[in-house]
Amino acid sequence: MESVEVVAILWLSYAAARARGWREQPSHATFVAMPDPSPMTLALAEAEAAGARGDVPVGAVLLGPEGRVLARAGNRVEALSDPTAHAELLVLREAARSLGRPRLVDCDLYVTLEPCPMCAQAISFARIRRLYYGAADPKGGGVDHGPRIFASSSCHHAPEVYGGLGERQAEGLLKAFFRARRTSGQSGLPGAR
Position 66: which residue type? Answer: E
Task: Report the length, in residues, of the chain.
Answer: 193
Q: How far apart are CA 158 and CA 65, in angstroms?
A: 17
Catalytic residue among 46, 48, 78, 88: 88
95 Cβ neighbours under 8 A, 6+ residues apart: 62, 64, 70, 71, 104, 107
The answer to whether 46 is a known catalytic residue is: no
Closest CA to 62 of 10, 103, 26: 103
Closest CA to 139 of 168, 113, 172, 101: 113
Q: How far apart are CA 39 and CA 154, in angstroms?
A: 30
Give the active site residues: 88
